[in-house]
Amino acid sequence: MFLAEVDARPAGYCLIFIRRLPPISRVNKLGHIADFLVLKEFRGQGISSKLKNEAMQWFRQKGIKHVSLNVLEKNRVPQSIYKKWGFFPYVVEMRKNL
Protein backbone atom coordinates (compact mmCIF):
# COMPACT_ATOMS: atom_id res chain seq x y z
CA MET A 1 0.00 0.00 0.00
CA PHE A 2 1.21 3.48 -0.84
CA LEU A 3 -0.02 6.38 1.30
CA ALA A 4 0.08 10.01 0.18
CA GLU A 5 0.36 12.70 2.81
CA VAL A 6 0.04 16.47 2.62
CA ASP A 7 1.35 18.39 5.63
CA ALA A 8 1.51 15.11 7.61
CA ARG A 9 -2.19 14.44 6.87
CA PRO A 10 -3.36 11.40 4.88
CA ALA A 11 -4.47 12.58 1.44
CA GLY A 12 -4.92 9.30 -0.43
CA TYR A 13 -3.73 5.76 -0.92
CA CYS A 14 -3.22 3.03 -3.49
CA LEU A 15 -3.55 -0.63 -2.52
CA ILE A 16 -1.80 -3.06 -4.88
CA PHE A 17 -0.91 -6.73 -5.13
CA ILE A 18 0.31 -9.36 -7.59
CA ARG A 19 -2.14 -12.00 -8.83
CA ARG A 20 -0.94 -15.36 -10.05
CA LEU A 21 -3.07 -16.54 -12.95
CA PRO A 22 -3.85 -20.15 -13.96
CA PRO A 23 -1.24 -21.87 -16.15
CA ILE A 24 -3.60 -21.77 -19.16
CA SER A 25 -3.33 -17.96 -19.21
CA ARG A 26 -0.79 -16.29 -21.49
CA VAL A 27 0.11 -13.99 -18.59
CA ASN A 28 1.18 -15.85 -15.44
CA LYS A 29 1.52 -12.84 -13.09
CA LEU A 30 -0.63 -9.72 -13.14
CA GLY A 31 -0.22 -6.59 -11.07
CA HIS A 32 -3.52 -5.38 -9.69
CA ILE A 33 -4.58 -2.04 -8.24
CA ALA A 34 -7.21 -3.15 -5.74
CA ASP A 35 -8.19 0.22 -4.32
CA PHE A 36 -7.35 3.80 -5.17
CA LEU A 37 -8.54 6.92 -3.38
CA VAL A 38 -7.60 10.58 -3.11
CA LEU A 39 -9.68 12.58 -0.63
CA LYS A 40 -11.87 15.22 -2.25
CA GLU A 41 -10.01 18.16 -0.68
CA PHE A 42 -6.71 16.98 -2.22
CA ARG A 43 -7.90 16.18 -5.75
CA GLY A 44 -6.44 18.05 -8.70
CA GLN A 45 -2.96 18.26 -7.14
CA GLY A 46 -1.35 15.34 -8.99
CA ILE A 47 -1.52 13.01 -5.99
CA SER A 48 -3.20 10.20 -7.92
CA SER A 49 -0.49 10.35 -10.59
CA LYS A 50 2.23 10.18 -7.96
CA LEU A 51 0.58 7.18 -6.30
CA LYS A 52 0.17 5.49 -9.69
CA ASN A 53 3.83 6.14 -10.53
CA GLU A 54 4.97 4.56 -7.25
CA ALA A 55 2.77 1.53 -7.91
CA MET A 56 4.07 1.11 -11.47
CA GLN A 57 7.66 1.38 -10.30
CA TRP A 58 7.03 -1.32 -7.66
CA PHE A 59 5.40 -3.59 -10.25
CA ARG A 60 8.35 -3.11 -12.64
CA GLN A 61 10.80 -3.99 -9.86
CA LYS A 62 8.84 -7.23 -9.35
CA GLY A 63 9.04 -8.06 -13.07
CA ILE A 64 5.35 -7.41 -13.73
CA LYS A 65 4.49 -6.59 -17.35
CA HIS A 66 0.68 -6.17 -17.09
CA VAL A 67 -1.44 -4.27 -14.56
CA SER A 68 -5.19 -4.31 -14.07
CA LEU A 69 -7.74 -2.42 -12.01
CA ASN A 70 -11.50 -2.35 -11.60
CA VAL A 71 -13.72 0.70 -11.79
CA LEU A 72 -17.50 0.95 -11.64
CA GLU A 73 -19.06 1.50 -15.05
CA LYS A 74 -20.85 4.63 -13.85
CA ASN A 75 -17.65 6.15 -12.37
CA ARG A 76 -16.73 8.23 -15.43
CA VAL A 77 -14.17 10.60 -13.85
CA PRO A 78 -11.80 7.84 -12.67
CA GLN A 79 -12.28 6.04 -15.99
CA SER A 80 -11.07 9.09 -17.90
CA ILE A 81 -8.02 9.34 -15.62
CA TYR A 82 -7.19 5.65 -16.02
CA LYS A 83 -7.52 5.93 -19.82
CA LYS A 84 -5.16 8.93 -19.75
CA TRP A 85 -2.68 6.69 -17.90
CA GLY A 86 -2.90 4.06 -20.67
CA PHE A 87 -5.41 1.62 -19.15
CA PHE A 88 -8.02 0.21 -21.52
CA PRO A 89 -11.22 -1.83 -21.13
CA TYR A 90 -10.42 -5.54 -21.16
CA VAL A 91 -13.10 -7.58 -19.39
CA VAL A 92 -16.77 -6.78 -18.87
CA GLU A 93 -18.22 -8.18 -15.65
CA MET A 94 -21.91 -8.90 -15.85
CA ARG A 95 -24.20 -9.39 -12.84
CA LYS A 96 -27.76 -10.40 -12.11
CA ASN A 97 -29.82 -9.57 -9.07
CA LEU A 98 -31.65 -12.53 -7.53
Structural domain boundaries in the chain: 2-84
Give me the pLDDT at residue 49, please: 96
CATH superfamily of 2-84: Gcn5-related N-acetyltransferase (GNAT) (3.40.630.30)
**What does each C-alpha distance from 50 to 22, 38, 54 come to in angstroms?**
32, 11, 6
**Three-state SS at 13:** strand
**What does each C-alpha distance from 75 to 21, 22, 49, 72, 82 come to in angstroms?**
27, 30, 18, 5, 11
Give me the pLDDT at residue 50, please: 97
Give me the pLDDT at residue 36, please: 95
Give me the pLDDT at residue 25, please: 86
77: enclosing H helix or E strand: helix 76-84
pLDDT in tens, the chain (98 residues): 999 999 999 999 999 999 999 888 889 999 999 999 999 999 999 999 999 999 999 999 999 999 999 999 999 999 999 999 999 999 888 889 99
Of 81, 88, 9, 1, the closest CA to residue 48 belongs to 81
